[in-house]
Amino acid sequence: MHFILAVKVKWGKNVYNDIELNTDEHPLVFKAQIFTLTGVQPDRQKVMLKGAQLKDDGWGDLPVKNGATFLMLGTADELALEPEKKTVFMEDLSEAELNTKLDLPAGLVNLGNTCYMNATVQCLKMVPELKKSLVELRPQGSSGLVDSLSEVFRSMQTGSCVPPLLLLGALHRAVPRFAEKGPNGGLCQQDASECWTEMVRLMQSGLPAQNSNKHNSLVEQYMGGRMSVTLQCTESDTEPPLVSEENFLHLSCFIGQETGHMNSGLKAKIKEQISKMSSSLSRDAVYTKTSLIDRLPAYLTVQFVRFYYKEREAVNAKILKDVKFPLQFDAWELCTPRLQALIEPTRAKFKEIEDQRTQDALEGKDKPKPSKGVEPMEVDKDLEAQPYSFTDDPGSNNSGYYELQAVLTHRGRSSSSGHYVAWVKGDSPDTWYKCDDDVVSPVTDKEILKLSGGGDWHVAYMLLYGPKVLKVPKKPAEEPMSEN
């Protein structure tokens, strides 16, 4: 039987009280908690209880009980360096060390069927405002998911591979079903979409909105949209339509026999037939349900509904159908007429800039495309980025135009098996990174577009779109007026 206990850790003259210990979790999670308090790396800790040493592979017969005092031996000082620096060859480096040398994004260690969590974290990190808020979050000393995610984001800034031990423990405490174990005692694979939903939900209550009186949380502000829903009874000409609003944190792309593109899967849900009780007819009647977006978030999440429950096998089977998705997405057709009128001015500016580029190209004035390795800021030094949100609604999208920022894929035939990977956009044009747990490697746009499905290769499951930013030529600086 496993318990959540409150224990003490004695390290030298220091005593740390009321440390939460869950014997259902890996001992390394407990050591990671000690690390946050003492600065002693887990691999340099010797943790003792009544003369018995805590091993990394399990709790064994250690007499753990509420109020127990652990003795920890170890030093937080830097280890002495060898007098001579050895030559290190690239082929001798580990994947994590190679990532650091090549300036690749940090990877996350798989702690045993935790690829679903790692892929989710890598994708959510692509919302800059969310990342910034978490990195700057003052530690509360708790073991909650928001604090743990904050610690992971800060650690990932070093570029080295990060073992998300505390985050996994926090996720298990917040969502106990993710701590389920299989017959062999190892953690079960979980659904990345469910992990995404739960992490966003927990951040929704833990991160306040910024510079906005319209939203309570940062998540609602930058990732939440609003839908206008109209129900019209098709069997009564006198019954007035019912209009309501629904908030959403992602859009669902349902995959039918005719669905070949994400756009068609999303548009299929604009109008649908449903049956409900009619107040005017006093019976169930057919209604036309029209759902249109009335508030676009800066960062739009799209989930491909690829899994369905097969009763005979009792598994969530996967739809492998090839469904294309765009690198640039226009949400215009999904919006209400009211929102279309609001986003039209910014769209007109985009068209004006594009028309000017076309004209310059015809006249031979167009700038050469940036080469790989050239910083975007060097190419766009004569351009000035415009706000992507409405002035009275920070965190919204004021154009309806989006650019793909991250893709979470699944490889396998069931959501509770297989493997999850994140693919995230880089800073340079046509540069993406495949984040396969602790292995991070560069890929291109073409490889991203191959993730649309149709076989047993990695298949897009969750997409994250960010705002397409309008850039206009900088105004020339005004020359100072002559005194003469």
115 is catalytic: yes
In the set 115, 123, 161, 435, the catalytic residue is: 115
**Rounded to whole angstroms, how far apart are CA atoms 423 and 452?**
13
Other Cβ atoms within 10 Å of 213 Cβ, number: 8
Helix axes 165-174, 27-38, angle to 10 degrees: 120
**Rounded to whole angstroms, how far apart are CA atoms 302 and 261?**
13
C-alpha torsion 273→277→282→283, nearest 10 = 60
**Rounded to whole angstroms, how far apart are CA atoms 332 and 240?**
27
Q: Which two tokens stand for residue 17?
A: 């009280």
Q: Which two tokens stand for residue 337?
A: 């007429």
Q: Are 64 and 7 in contact (CB under 8 A)?
A: yes
**Rounded to whole angstroms, how far apart are CA atoms 203 and 218?**
8
Q: Are 349 and 470 in contact (CB under 8 A)?
A: yes
Other Cβ atoms within 10 Å of 70 Cβ, number: 22
DSSP letters along 128-190, please? HHHHHHHHTPPP-S---HHHHHHHHHHHHTTSS-B--HHHHHHHHHHSGGGG-B-TTSSBPP-
Quote the Cα angle for 448-192-206, to 5°: 110
User: Which residue's structure tokens are 């969502």?
Assistant: 175
For strands 4-11 and 69-73, give the pairing: parallel
- CA distances (Å), 64 to each of 7, 52, 150, 458, in order? 9, 11, 30, 43
Q: Are 275 and 287 in contact (CB under 8 A)?
A: yes
In the set 26, 123, 188, 419, the catalytic residue is: 419
CA atoms within 13 A on the CB side of 452: 14
User: 141 φ, ψ to 5°?
Assistant: 80, 10
Could you give the 3-state DSSP secondary structure of residue 206? coil
Cα-only R_g, the chain: 26
**Rounded to whole angstroms, how far apart are CA atoms 65 and 49?**
10
* Active-site annotation, residues: 115, 419
